[in-house]
Structure 1
């Protein structure tokens, strides 16, 4: 297993992706994806999904195959080699995820993004506000992840600064459960190290998300 594929897996795990958008010409043919149709897939395909360069076609939207922790390690490695990722629900303790969520929205609360009277851990957007004042990082609201307006600068700066808060980069990203799982999966033992780069993104309702792209 290469370092490149491990980085890809870690990136997916941290971002906790629910959807995978891939251009049709680049989509791999996966046996498990043939002739399958679930209620979740029906719901997803009924929604108009947009990125900053337009609406996604139905052929560009797919589901991640879930993987459970009770599978033999050999099967986990086989799935990783086949799919290029492992989508593992329940790997991180729920309490740890909710704590990180609470800390994140506590950190963003001074920007006015949260609905009054709600708890930060709920992460409920104040829909009385202009959503243009809360642009997603890299979503094309301004060139070079810049500031689309003076007020929005507070939100963009705060969202970027969240990457460097201890509750995120230390407590959440380096959670022992994640490291232990990667150690078992790779067999690297004490040589397992955390990759010091993460992507922490947000998107308020109604805003366009970052365009489909490949990171170099």
Structure 2
């Protein structure tokens, strides 16, 4: 575990977190607030509106999440990604070479599989999202599942999600689901505290300045007014200093679900797990079925689809 209690009994971050060659200073790190799903949907919705996220502890059956993790890695075993001799649910990364062409093909197959669709649309999650969205929830067809090797520099830069979903409603909810335990040092999502208000201002500024763009460019994260790939920055310490905010991290566990606003700024950090576990997670998007849907998200995720 990377979060421990200090001498005063206060929980603090034990391990440094880094991304893109920059370490986040301890004074710019904080802890995500847990929410017990048993507090009820109204209280959950209120926390989401206030904080821009809600970290739901144990919403999904832990054993089923672990079983799905094992299933995914069983199908990736032939790529050289997994070390032999271990329970595949552990997801221990191999040291040797990986057949990346095969790995990429397998991932594109997995996100189209009935098993993955069933995991994302499991009844408990669907019922919860219907209640949360106060109507029939629509799960976008484009769903992403990612694995991250330990000891690599791969980490998602800081961004907010609406940049990639401007073709539909802004009343979106992202569900980020750790597929297995993901303590902070494995590089789970970190959120810039209070930044859902900042994201709204950034988006308003973009809309005000996008009059010269074509309709196609206006909804694209890759237009001339956006940073590379729609990112805000790769420099997480600089963002925290610039906005006088903390990055909030957590020790996530299998069964947890984090819902976050399309405006909240978030990123990932490096996977520095000492036991060489692969980080595996999925991020999926929901909205009320009555709201406008971004047609670009009605196709399966494909590598290089520019979304």
TM-score normalised by length of structure 1: 0.63
Q: For 1:193, what is the secondary structure of its paired residue?
A: strand
Task: Trace 1:135-146 onto structure 2 (pairs within 5 A).
Answer: none
* Structure 2 residue aligned with 1:154: 102
Q: Which runs of 5+ in 2 are unaligned?
A: 4-8, 164-307
What is aligned with 2:138?
193
- What is the CA–CA distance in structure 2 between the aligned matches of 1:194 and 1:42, rounded to whole Å? 34
- For these two proteins, the number of residue pairs brought into alignment is 154
CA distance in 2, matches of 1:60, 1:156: 35
Alignment of 1:81-160 (within 5 A): 81-127=49-95, 129-130=96-97, 133=98, 151-160=99-108
Report the TM-score when normalising by structure 2: 0.45
- Higher RCO structure, 1 or 2 (CA under 8 Å, sep 6+): 2
Partners in 1 of 2:114 and 2:30 — Cα distance?
A: 34
Larger helix share, 1 or 2: 1
Could you list the runs of 5+ residues in structure 1 that have no partner in the other structure? 1-17, 20-35, 134-150
Considering only aligned residues, what root-mean-square deviation do their CA atoms show, in Å? 2.5
**CA distance in structure 1 between the aligned counterparts of 2:105 and 2:141, rounded to whole angstroms:** 20
How far apart are the structure 2 equivalents of 1:60 and 1:197?
33
Q: Which structure 1 residue ranges, 4+ long, deviate > 4 Å from structure 2?
A: none
The match for 1:208 is 153
* Aligned-partner Cα distance in 2 for 1:165–1:200: 12
Q: What is the Cα deviation at residue 37 of structure 1?
A: 4.5
